Structure 1
Amino acid sequence: MDEHRFELIISGALTNDRLGALVGAGCDDATFSTRDDLTFAAFDREAPTMLDAVISAIGAVETVPGFEVLRVDPDELVWASEIAERTGRTRQSVAQLIKATRGPGDFPAPATHATRNPLWRWSEVEAWFAAHEGRQPDTERTAVLGAINGALQARHSLRGAPQATPLRQALTQLLAS
């Protein structure tokens, strides 16, 4: 089995009792911290695949009352500074690639301009670096984390929505196609 590293971002306050419950639920391979009313669980989990590791960790965390996993980091959406960090480049180098003043051009378009700083999809950026620089992307990790974060976001959005049942049916149909 391989060891997989990832971090879960969890809603719910971490108390000594809850920490004990998390360890008892099978989260003894995680280090916990808190920030801004969120709990962070950094896992080093042994499992056959990244998917198995993350799903088992989410299941273990959510057996503890009061905790809900919000997302898995590293997140799929990244700023230019995060691209620089993940690729070992400077921020200036990444900015030049984005603006096509350096490199082959055709850098992926931002996924969103919701803030002053655009965000890119890491899976697209990683594929671009693989195509243009021969980097070996960790496609399993990228695909698994992207899909799980999408599912967690959909689950969170559906909670309490007045039209949750039709939305669930539509999502199920969409995923089946």
Structure 2
Amino acid sequence: MMETYEFTVIATGLDPQDEAFEAKFYDAGCDDALVSFQKGHILVDFCREAESLEEAIGSAVDNCRTAGAVVERVEPDPLVSLSEIAARSDMSRAAMTNYFKGHRSEGFPAPRARVTTASPLWDWSDVSLWLYKHDKISKEIAIGAAVVSVANDILECDGRDFRTSLHERVREKVAAF
């Protein structure tokens, strides 16, 4: 069954001043995306129909590469603050603080970045799995976080056969559900 998935591919490698900048993406199959250039990066905002988020991201990355772009990562951003966790899980910021401090439940994932600051960041994939296991979010949301996490891991390692690697690694990660 086809569903519509929204996500952003962050890329570089093409000149936004080129007259054919947007046409390169459209001609490469990104006709379901809005292409923009912000803060030194190409943002390709997709609203893609596919049988799974994995398939949607895989084909979008392939299309962006066909356009000549160097794909850096996929968003929504995998690093999240407590406020962002609250928004993504449709819960209050206070509830997230209580989970983090261990007042409501044990084992909330530790922050991954800015651990020593007043505004630490968590890996959304880790947090979403914890929230799913505690019946706070749906399995689909947690799997979506896992798919984006795996996609970014592969892109970070410059995976050439992106779609095959994505398929294999998503299956491994989702086995935890």
Fold shared by both chains (TM-score > 0.5): yes
* Whole-Å separation in 2 of the counterparts to 1:130 and 1:68: 33
Amino acid at match of 1:10: A
Task: Tell me the equivalent position of 1:128.
Answer: 130
Relative distance call for 1:140 and 1:93 in structure 2 (3 A) is closer
Alignment of 1:11-90 (within 5 A): 11-12=12-13, 13-15=15-17, 16-65=19-68, 67-90=69-92
Q: Distance in 1 between matches of 2:136 and 2:99?
A: 16
**Distance across 2 between alignment mates of 1:56 and 1:83:** 28
Gaps of 5+ in 1: 157-174
Structure 2-normalised TM-score? Answer: 0.77
The total of aligned residue pairs comes to 157
Structure 2's unaligned 5+ residue stretches are 160-168, 170-177
| Residue number in structure 2 paired with 1:146 | 149
Larger Rg: 1
Distance (whole Å) between structure 2 residues aligned to residue 144 and residue 127 of structure 1: 12
Distance 2:157 2:77 in 1: 15
Secondary structure of residue in 2 paired with 1:62: helix
Tell me the equivalent position of 1:8: 9
Flag the 1:134–1:82 CA change in 2: closer, same or farther, 3 A: closer
Aligned to 2:113: 112
TM-score, scaled relative to structure 1: 0.77
1:23 Cα deviation from its structure 2 partner? 0.6
8 Å contact kept, 1:10–1:38: yes
On the 8 A contact 1:108/1:128 being kept in 2, the answer is: yes
Identity of aligned residues (%): 32
Structure 1 residue ranges (4+ consecutive) displaced by more than 3 angstroms after TM superposition = 112-115
Aligned with 2:44: secondary structure?
strand
Q: Could you say if the C-alpha distance between residues 135 and 64 of structure 1 is closer, same or farther in structure 2, counting changes exceeding 3 Å?
A: closer
Which 10-residue stretch deviates more, 42-51 or 91-100?
91-100
Tell me: CA distance 1:10–1:115, structure 2 relative to 1, closer, same or farther (3 Å).
Answer: farther
Partner of 1:98: 100
Deviation (angstroms), 1:91: 2.5
